[in-house]
Structure 1
Amino acid sequence: MDDSVNSTQADDRRHLGDADAIVDSADEDVKATMERLRTVSYYLDEAFEIPGTNYRVGLDPFLGLVPGVGDATGAALSAYILVEAALIGVPRETLARMFGNVLLDATVGSLPLVGDVFDAAWKANARNVRLLESRYETPEAREADRRFLLGAVLVVTLLLVALGVATTLAALWVLGRLGLL
């Protein structure tokens, strides 16, 4: 009888070990995701130091210089951070704040030249990664409804890209009507 009890306890420990391995695996996945998002944010917002200053800019303002597709590409890359945040279970309120940062960046950033300066100063991606880092550790982050959030973020991503393209086309049309192009 003692052997069967010891065997059962050993089985319980193995199962607990499996659960710990699953949790460790999930934590490793989140760590890998966070590292990817930090990398994307770095390249979009802080990859280059302006000579003679300590100020850094990334590719986002330079992408905005490409008419039509540059701002849409920047918005899509910013939305990628939102999608990944939804997948790891960030609370809705944090996703809403992150979305607001991206929406403001995409809207103002799509204005010719002024928007590119705004992109260099606002750094929506770096803001969003900081929000993500500060909020992910909260317990309610693990309880978020991921399916709802993923669907909402995908819809918003499409809207952001459409908004960026529409704003750029409208600005180009106005500049064309004024004879500046």
Structure 2
Amino acid sequence: MTRPIPMAAAPRLSLGTDIAAVRTRIETMERLLERSFVVPGINRPVGLDAILGLMPVAGDLIATAMGVWIVWEARNLGLSKWQLARMAANVGFDTVIGAVPVIGDAADFFFRSNTRNLRIIRKHLDKHHPAGATLQG
């Protein structure tokens, strides 16, 4: 049995364009894709990215589209072309590796492109928009 994210931990999502609202949406998407559930026995968090990867072709395409959405949000935040290229490369690598049967499913446990992309976004926001920074617990 997997443990879902407690409702108290799920932030309220806003459709606003302010930095805090965008940051919350991106962090929520990353949590959904990479850390939604904990695998019993090994206590390893997994998300929709790994689960969708089990479904050939369509699952990988859906997970890629969700990862590309994070890159699109980053573009709207004003990240540099270099940062966006790194983020796109993370999503691309995850997609290519994920397309390989069995190996791709295992790779989803170890290469978390959306978590890497969130780290790039947080670094940018903390530097350029310190008022929107949140404390990490």
TM-score, normalised with respect to structure 2: 0.76
Q: 2:21: which partner in 1?
A: 32
Match of 2:109 among 120, 132, 135: 120
Q: Name the SS for the 1:56 alignment partner.
A: strand
Instruction: Give distance in 2, aligned partners of 1:54 and 1:28.
Output: 36
Instruction: Give distance in 2, aligned partners of 1:52 and 1:120.
Output: 15
Which protein has the bigger helix share? 1
Indicate the percent of aligned positions where both proteins have the same amino acid: 35
State yes or no: 1:138 paired with 2:93. Answer: no
Q: Does the aligned pair in 2 maintain the 1:63–1:73 contact within 8 Å?
A: yes
Match of 1:94 among 83, 90, 100: 83
Deviation at 1:91, TM superposition (A): 1.5
Q: Aligned letter for 1:95?
A: L
Deviation at 1:137, TM superposition (A): 3.4
Q: 1:63: which partner in 2?
A: 52
Q: Deviations over 1:118-144 (max 9, x none)?
A: 0121111011011100122334xxxxx
Q: Name the CA shift for 1:133/1:116 in 2 (closer, same or farther; >3 Å).
A: same
Question: What are structure 2's unaligned runs of at least 5 residues?
Answer: 1-15, 129-137
Deviation at 1:114, TM superposition (A): 1.1
The two structures, once aligned, show a CA RMSD in angstroms of 1.7
Question: What are structure 1's unaligned runs of at least 5 residues?
Answer: 1-26, 140-181
TM-score, normalised with respect to structure 1: 0.58
* Larger RCO: 1 or 2 (CA < 8 Å, sep 6+): 1
Which structure has the larger Rg?
1
